[in-house]
Amino acid sequence: MLEYVHQAASSTSVGTLVVLHGYGADEKDLAGLHSYFPNFDMIGLRAPIALPFGGCAWYGLDFDSHGVRIIDPVEVREALSVAHQSISAIVATLGLEGLPVYLLGFSQGGSLSYGLMMSYPDRYTRGVVLSGYVYQHDALPYPLEMEYYRAIELFVGHGVQDPVVPLEMCHRSLEVLDGLSIRYTTNEYACGHTIVPNEISDIQQWLQAHRI
């Protein structure tokens, strides 16, 4: 089971918000978001790979000589499996089984959120993806037919000046969602690779309107 930090809801909980951090961060990186979502139990997971310069990663990341992003599909599949198993175990440990689970991921954690929802659509039907992208690789097929994704609803936020995950990667991801008839709300923000206040406000409104 992955290491995690749990922040309890300030009153009656409406759900469990599982937060997945980006490359080089850890389970505490996005803990400050809980003040904006106090009616959720929030669980921040720590990615399984410790990086030599500090922080953690869900899987390795490299670039070829042309600057094209390289990921190992085996590592991605392992990350999806360990995250899914850890979420189930942590929810049981905390006695939160009766609450719906929502995902919120930033950067690499956003990509993992896409992967979790598209790999386990019966378990994760609400997700917030910030500055992430859909994995597109022959070794990472999403084996289910589009009818299995009908319950999924997503909020997708991205900075128009993002130098880490360029906006075009977000647009290509939305094309994948369209091809699977997955419903989503998307907004673009005048920022780089970060989360800005008006984005948080949009997420608050979206979560309120898309309760399970």
pLDDT tens sequence across 101-124: 999 999 999 999 999 999 999 999
Helix orientation angle between 108-119 and 73-93, rounded to the nearest 10 degrees = 80
- Predicted model pTM: 0.95
C-alpha 90/C-alpha 177 separation (Å) is 29
Beta carbons within 8 Å of 102's beta carbon, 6+ residues apart: 15, 16, 17, 18, 40, 126, 127, 128, 207, 212
User: Nearest-CA neighbor of 155 among 128, 183, 173, 187?
Assistant: 128
Secondary structure of residue 168 in the 3-state scheme: helix
Q: What is the pLDDT of residues 22-79, one digit of tens each?
A: 999 999 999 999 999 999 999 999 999 999 999 999 999 877 665 667 788 889 999 9
